[in-house]
Amino acid sequence: MSTAHCPALLIAAPASGQGKTTVTAALARLHARQGRRVRVFKCGPDFLDPHWHQLASGQPVHNLDLWLNGEADIRARLHAAAASSDLILIEGVMGLFDGEPSAADLAIQLGLPVLAVIDAGAMAGTFGALVHGLRHYRPGLPWAGVLANRVAGEGHEQMLRTSVRADDLGAEPGGIDAGWLGALRRDAGFTLPERHLGLTVASELPDALARLDALADAMAATPLGRLDAAGWQRWAVAFEPVAQRPVVPLLQGRRVAVARDAAFCFIYPANLDALRALGAELAFFSPLADEPVPDGDALWLPGGYPELHADALAQGTRCRNSLAAHIAAGKPVWAECGGMMPLFDGLRLADGRRVPMWGLLPGEVAMQPRLVALGPQRWDTAQGALRGHSFHHSQTSSPLAPLAQTVPGSRFGRPEAVYGQGPVRASYFHAWFASNLEATAGLFTRAQS
């Protein structure tokens, strides 16, 4: 393999809620409409933003996290993307310097130019101070420029641009301010809707593509949006190949059923790739449609929004009975977070109403008014460490003694219980399968501990 060169930007911000997803999706949609091959990545363990980016780009979206993936895995994914793409866009996570590791760490280690998106809706001169701080807080940070978001009008934009110091704009010969990449107006039509776990899944909105087209049209009017292919070469990055060890097909000949619908939609495309690389045949089904578990050797119930579809899931007797039969036959089940919740006896919703669930594990789940847990997690299995994360608004009480506890990857985290009963393993822990393929195969072949 040879070095692959491709323009790349890491879209970051001073904090969450500034418009990173909006700008990333707008750029992806704009270039995809122009016939360019765009690959989008998302920093951190996020399931929701990638739905929008996949719709915008028409390509699968993988996650990049130095702790979750490891640097070698990230480099391999970016090299593969660069070899077949015209443009790579990477959306950051939280603020540019937030987290351990942060988006800034990724930018510095991989030489990725940073585009700073700043919500300027309630500021003028302070905008320049933020730009200066973001650019210079960490020595060696590759810098592309800044884009103002939620700008009131032309006068406001001029104030913002004037507030930025000339050396932070990086003026080029000929008077072109390379670092000022434009402004997006304040417009409710540009807002991507949210709910308690983040953005609403793009596939649930009939006007999702129209929203992205409106964003792309707005982006096309900015200096960044007007750049042609030659202009993007200023941010070309050389992505080196990475040697990877061969994958042993530990799931060869095994058929793994995977729940996938609006209630079970937190699925990393990279996790599906990992299962296929291990040799598994995947069979998808919809518990919401009361489809039975497909015939096979193992089952994965990924996370999602069971609390939004509790009544439909409770009424799905055909799905529930086939799942009970799968368990009675001793076939492995891996249920994570939202995929675990319906397995218990009942689910208490945010309004206090209790919905009887599938009753395949003893215990109750209750939605909470605020986030219960968030952060990286490691499960030390018999096959080694399996990395992942937790992110949930519910709490579980069960008489089951946990088979294991995960280890938080952050000093601020708390462990998550791994429950087990018969062939079922269930936890709030979301696994990143590629972090340990042997341990992943163990989830679908035998009881993991």
User: 382: Cβ–Cβ under 8 A, 6 or more apart, which residues?
Assistant: 439, 442, 448, 449
Query: Mean pLDDT, to the nearest integer, of 13-26?
Result: 94
To the query of whether residue 337 is one of the catalytic residues in this protein, the response is yes
pLDDT of residue 412: 81
pLDDT of residue 177: 52
pLDDT of residue 166: 80
- Torsion sign, CA atoms 384, 386, 387, 389: negative
Spatial contact of 215 and 24, defined as CB atoms under 8 Å apart? no
For 140-154, 196-210, 260-274, which range has the lowest pLDDT when averaged over its residues? Answer: 196-210
Does residue 202 have a pLDDT over 60?
Answer: no
Share of residues in the chain with pLDDT > 70 (%): 93
pLDDT of residue 208: 84
Rg of the chain over CA atoms, in angstroms?
Answer: 23
Tokens found for residue 422:
């018969």
Report which residue type is found at 30.
L
Does residue 256 have a pLDDT over 90?
Answer: yes
Cα 116–chain centre separation: 19
Q: How confident is the model at residue 176 (pLDDT cuts 50, 70, 90)?
A: very low
Residue with tokens 């899944």: 201
Q: How confident is the model at residue 204 (pLDDT cuts 50, 70, 90)?
A: low
Spatial contact of 437 and 389, defined as CB atoms under 8 Å apart? no
pLDDT of residue 133: 96
Does residue 1 have a pLDDT over 80?
Answer: no
Does residue 447 have a pLDDT over 60?
Answer: no
- Pick the catalytic residue: 43, 265, 319, 337? 337
DSSP 248: P
What is the distance between the alpha carbons of residues 91 and 129, in angstroms, rounded to a whole number? 23
Does residue 403 have a pLDDT over 70?
Answer: yes
Does residue 171 have a pLDDT over 60?
Answer: no
Share of residues in the chain with pLDDT > 90 (%): 85
Look at 60 and 174; give whichever has higher pLDDT: 60
Look at 322 and 446; give whichever has higher pLDDT: 322
Spatial contact of 367 and 350, defined as CB atoms under 8 Å apart? yes
Tokens found for residue 413:
């985290």
Query: Mean pLDDT, to the nearest integer, of 83-89?
Result: 97
In terms of residues, how long is the chain?
Answer: 449
pLDDT of residue 413: 86
Neighbours of 325 (CB within 10 A): 12
Query: Mean pLDDT, to the nearest integer, of 406-412?
Result: 89
Does residue 63 have a pLDDT over 80?
Answer: yes
What is the distance between the alpha carbons of residues 269 and 272, in angstroms, rounded to a whole number? 5
Query: Mean pLDDT, to the nearest integer, of 309-327?
Result: 97
Report which residue type is found at 366.
A
Residue 184: which H helix or E strand, with range?
strand 180-185
Rounded to the nearest 10°, the torsion over CA 58, 237, 376, 100 is -140
What is the distance between the alpha carbons of residues 225 and 219, in angstroms, rounded to a whole number? 5
Domains of the chain: 4-239 (3.40.50.300), 255-443 (3.40.50.880)
pLDDT of residue 46: 87
Alpha helices in 8-48 (DSSP H): 20-33
What is the distance between the alpha carbons of residues 147 and 243, in angstroms, rounded to a whole number? 37
Tokens found for residue 373:
């847990």
Residue 381: which H helix or E strand, with range?
strand 373-381
What is the distance between the alpha carbons of residues 266 and 300, in angstroms, rounded to a whole number? 12
Query: Mean pLDDT, to the nearest integer, of 57-61?
Result: 95
Does residue 302 have a pLDDT over 60?
Answer: yes
For 180-194, 273-287, 372-386, 420-434, which range has the lowest pLDDT when averaged over its residues? Answer: 180-194
pLDDT of residue 179: 87
User: 47: Cβ–Cβ under 8 A, 6 or more apart, which residues?
Assistant: 198, 265, 266, 267, 268, 303
Task: Output the average pLDDT for the chain.
Answer: 92
Query: Mean pLDDT, to the nearest integer, of 304-328?
Result: 96
Helix, strand, coil distribution of the chain in percent, nearest 5: 30, 30, 40
Tokens found for residue 136:
């210079």
